[in-house]
Amino acid sequence: MWQQSTDPLGSLWLSALTAALPILVFLACLVVFRLKGIIAALIALAVQIALALWGFGMPLPSVAGAGLLGVLTALWPIAYIIVMAVWLYRTAVASGRFDVIRSSISVVSPDQRIQVLLITFAFGAFLEGAAGFGVPIAICAALLVQLGFRPVKAAMISLVANAGAGAYGAIGIPVLVGAQVTGIDVIELSRAMVLLLQPLTLLIPFLLVVILDGWRGLRETWPATVTVTIVFSGIQAGVLWFLGPELVDLGSGLGAMAALFVLGRVWQPKRVYREAGAPVPAIERPSLRETIAAWSPFYILTAFILIWSLPVFKGLFAADGPLAATVLTVPIPSVTNAIVGASGTPVTAAWSLTPINATGTAILLAVFASFFTTRALTAGILWRELRGTVRDLAAALALITLILVLANIANYSGGSASMGTALTAVGPLFPLLAPIIGWIGVFLTGSVVNNNTLFAPLQVATAHGLGVDPALLVAANTAGGNTGKVISPQSIAIAAGAVGLSGRESEILRASILYSLGMLGFICVWTFVLSLLPH
């Protein structure tokens, strides 16, 4: 078996900087040289393979095995989820229901600043809590384009807004996994998240308005912005503190949407803001029945996702459950029991095919349920939209696949651990840098869940060594990863595919990167301040 090393070059910082080269190359290709996402990913992947083979000494069969796991994971469950989510959205548009959705949003306010708060922040949080995995980014970005936003701005705003909910996506799984892999009590970790992340969440609605219309826009829309912030953050903090992470995004998203609907009945900004070139919508007030029917695909989606998230449903597919035979687990050759981790433990890597209990299957059932309850849809339209979805997302899914191949090779070669270990060597200043590990983890994997699986134990071990609250550093890992989702290649590719900009990911990245780094800097400083307090 091959033994991983976090310091193959004899200098921890040199090894860590070497391990970071593929990330730096990828960013440079997109931001400096403005290459297409797939070209940038291919170059970065070539650098990663070379480093794994000759820098970290990883055997070629293990490199191939790690890459295979990346390809399989990209296909299932990630591509499956994304295709199903966008297919659901496209069928809603094809059915004509989206015209009613657009009218119901315009009734709240024709002002696009209010629409952004309603769609990307409130409704996006609701979708994040129900599905996660890029679903809110894809759907909200597409909605904004339909409402008259330019594609790049629609994608960027949806990515930034997702930072308000991304840490608790898919029924709180990132926090639940962080607690599970570290042994920290879930409520203790949830309360640490409130103390660490809530100040940033309070600021995001204000940031969204400033991005759109500057300080003038903030002065003109402060009643709506303050209302959304108080309701959203109040519900989010309360649920986290007393109940845990499972219902955080669903409750705060629903509450913020309801608050904006009520506020829209008694207050509107004096000046209606519209993006340059965006048509002013004709205000048509759909009936309550029409509105409920139009939004029904998303209600149906939420219902299926909630059922799929219930412990009793998950128990059906557990190792001793009645449907355990439907879960196919495939060990990855040349990785499982072929690599010894830096800690001395043999590595286990497997790919699971879960055709029934996959999140994508829940979305697929929502598509069919919406189809059978919508007279305007025919089987021909349904399959046409599926073909169009696959065609339009092909480039984005190819980019996601390349990035996951790169990430898996980085992880199993020891490169990711090398970067994390180097950052732990700074001693008492480590809390200042702890969120950066989470940021790197999500940039590599595109998932706050995977990030916590990889690096949360490292954060706990360092916390014990420094005498810092372990829950704080795991929360920092989660929060830092949450800011990394804004520019993770997977998120960028999803956003690009949703707004029709596949191949132009660099434009979205350039528009988003400063916001990601700014939020990361805020979390770093605030983590360090909290680490100085007694616990």
Q: What is the pLDDT of residue 40?
A: 86
Determine, yes or no, domain membership for 1: no
Q: At what angle do helices 21-31 and 12-19 cross, to 10 degrees?
A: 40
Determine, yes or no, domain membership for 343: no
Question: Which among 41, 67, 24, 60 is positioned nearest to 410, based on CA atoms?
Answer: 67
Instruction: Count the alpha carbons within 13 Å of 258 in the hemisphere toward its beta carbon.
Output: 10
- Predicted confidence band at 286 (pLDDT cuts at 50, 70, 90)? confident
Q: Going by C-beta distance under 8 Å and a sequence separation of 6 or more, which residues neighbour residue 188?
A: 471
Question: What separation in angstroms does the CA of 399 have from each of 381, 395, 423, 498?
Answer: 28, 6, 29, 14
Per DSSP, the three-state class of 148 is coil
Determine, yes or no, domain membership for 3: no
Rounded mean pLDDT of 63-89? 86
Structure tokens at 284: 């048509």
Structure tokens at 384: 């046409």
Domain count, the chain: 1
Determine, yes or no, domain membership for 346: no
Residue pLDDT, tens place only, 194-242: 999 999 999 999 999 999 999 999 999 999 999 999 999 999 999 889 8
> Which letter, b or e, does each residue of 195-226 get, where b requires 16 or more Cβ atoms within 10 Å of its Cβ?
bbbbebbbbbbbbbbbbbbeeebbebbeebbe
Question: Which among 170, 69, 73, 175 is positioned nearest to 453, based on CA atoms?
Answer: 175
| CA 127/CA 115 separation, integer angstroms | 16
351 phi, psi to nearest 5 deg: -110, 130
Determine, yes or no, domain membership for 254: yes
Residue with tokens 């980085």: 410
Cβ-based burial of 252 (10 A; exposed 0-12, middle 13-18, buried ≥19): buried
| CA 212/CA 155 separation, integer angstroms | 13
Structure tokens at 239: 């649920």
Q: What is the pLDDT of residue 534?
A: 78
Strongest mean pLDDT among 173-182, 349-358, 415-424: 349-358
Domain extent at residue 463: 9-336+352-531
| CA 358/CA 488 separation, integer angstroms | 23
- Predicted confidence band at 76 (pLDDT cuts at 50, 70, 90)? confident
Determine, yes or no, domain membership for 347: no
Question: Which among 81, 75, 71, 147 is positioned nearest to 108, based on CA atoms?
Answer: 147
Residue pLDDT, tens place only, 417-426: 887 778 777 7
